[in-house]
Amino acid sequence: MMVRDTLDRPLHDLRISVTDRCNFRCTYCMPKEVFGRDFEFLHRADLLTFEELARLARLFVELGVEKIRVTGGEPLVRRDVERLIAMLSAIPALRDLTLTTNGSLLTPAKARSLAAAGLQRITISLDSLDDEVFRAMNDVNFPVARVLDAIDAAADAGLEPIKIDMVVKRGMNDHTIVDMARHFRRTGRIVRFIEYMDVGTTNGWRMKDVVPGREIVELISRHWPIEPVSANYFGEVASRWRYTDGTGEIGIITSVSNPFCGSCTRARISAEGELYTCLFASRGVDVRRMLRGGATDEELRDAIAAVWRARTDRYSELRSAATIGMPKVEMSHIGG
């Protein structure tokens, strides 16, 4: 069964947030000034259980989802997340199961346990190889070296190909783009350079802080010629570029300068059971109430399908001075 929205976009991808908590305070996502000591996160009883998440995931797969990404917050702060991974990996017809993490809790033992549970790939966030810059951006004084150790742990556990996500902010870490590309060439790791986005309302986003993807491509190509590569599948977020000397590839995510709303196939479930159909949505649809109210699988599946069929989201294509100030869900709440 495949469902399509009002713009004929299929439902192929699901992002599951398992927690709204994170041990970093990245300035572009969870600034310490907002998410400080007094910030009230979700109570444990409000979080969907692993059984509830797995049930929802199975219904999404029946509606056409082929890829699931586990996110947060920081998903590895959720205790025993391997148990959820095992439940998800057992879903028939699910082709791709991956997880995004900041790497801080990804020890060799954790990486092995995730792989043993059925996790196939992993994405690790690293916004600079310059230790001073990275510590300033994560705002908890976490060192680059420990993230590099996490990348090695993931590789040793077979969680490959490994993708490295770098959010690029002008005047903050854009001067380290080339260093990032240089370090990961020839390693088999795929660095994805992500334009700084106006997700949520707390990160102080300004258009002048965005480094457009074309600028990133031009900068890297001055050092190593690169050429575009066809997408792996419809709806792939990053545009692919490969080094012409055969030493690897990079990705560029251009939600601001070159929106890809027309091929967006992603739905998101927040940790407390809200269904969102856009990263920039103002509100979600409460499916926890149905889950805990005795709804049958058919009723839940029909409700999800109805939400997707009514979907009209294309925020990035419509982005303007008027829309930027609108209330939007925080990225830390639905996992980017």
d(CA 18, CA 41): 13
pLDDT at residue 320 greater than cutoff 90: no
pLDDT at 234: 87
pLDDT at 318: 80
pLDDT at residue 236 greater than cutoff 80: yes
pLDDT at 308: 98
CA angle 312, 324, 180 (to 5 degrees): 95
- The predicted-structure confidence for 155-188, as pLDDT tens digits, reads as follows 999 999 999 999 999 999 999 999 999 999 999 9
Q: Lowest mean pLDDT: which of 19-23, 25-29, 323-327?
A: 323-327
pLDDT at 179: 98
Domains and CATH numbers, the chain: 13-334 (3.20.20.70)
pLDDT at residue 201 greater than cutoff 80: no
pLDDT at residue 326 greater than cutoff 80: no
- Pairing type for strands 162-168 and 249-253 reads unpaired
Percent of the residues in the chain that have a pLDDT greater than 70, as a whole number = 99
pLDDT at 198: 83
- Pairing type for strands 162-168 and 121-125 reads parallel
pLDDT at 199: 82
> What's the rounded mean pLDDT across residues 125-131?
98
Confidence of residue 322 (pLDDT cuts 50, 70, 90): low
> What's the rounded mean pLDDT across residues 290-304?
98
Block residue for tokens 């997700």: 199
> What's the rounded mean pLDDT across residues 84-99?
97
Q: Is 308 exposed, middle or buried (0-12, 13-18, 19+ CB in 10 A)?
A: buried
0.85 exceeded by the pTM?
A: yes
- The predicted-structure confidence for 278-295, as pLDDT tens digits, reads as follows 988 888 999 999 999 999
- The predicted-structure confidence for 132-150, as pLDDT tens digits, reads as follows 999 999 999 999 999 999 9
